Structure 1
Amino acid sequence: MGIDCKAPQKVDVICQHSVDGTVIPLRIRLTDEDGQRQVFNIKEYMDISHKGSYTTADGVFVTDNNLIFECKILVINMIKKITLYYSPFNQSWTMTG
């Protein structure tokens, strides 16, 4: 099962919303190439939001309004780096990795 994706892929994200307004991504769920729903726990994350408007190395245009997290998940006993993007305008999460 692979989750390599160059173009942003829509994902479900379970988050913790703290009293101070911070958002912590905990888990993602996506559909793999076989059409199966897969769930991955986020092992580590770093919030890289609010750095202005720019296009990321993955080709995603972001603004100060987007939430952006660099995350590590465990896939078949290997750590995989992914980037999660939340767009408040579309109210949707996408992932590249």
Structure 2
Amino acid sequence: MCAQDMAAAGLHEGQEITLVSDFEDGKRRELGGFSVRAHNLPRGTIGAYYPEANTLISIDHHDELSTTPASKAIPVRIETGQPSKSI
């Protein structure tokens, strides 16, 4: 994530976090063990590797024409053991 978002969320380099996505189906999807790293990314976005992060995607969240998972647009929250931070 970008350094400005890290600062705004009170996160520091190397801090362990969990990413959580909540889709309209009401299921909580989470993936832990991530480390926060500053990268040259636009504000309000984060990067994660796939297929490891596929668990955050609802099977119903896909392109209607190709039916491929829409993995480039997954809203997530960051949990640190403190109150959640949305990105």
Highest RCO, 1 vs 2 (Cα 8 Å, sep ≥ 6): 2
- TM-score (normalizing by structure 1): 0.31
Q: Which has the higher strand share?
A: 1
- TM-score (normalizing by structure 2): 0.33
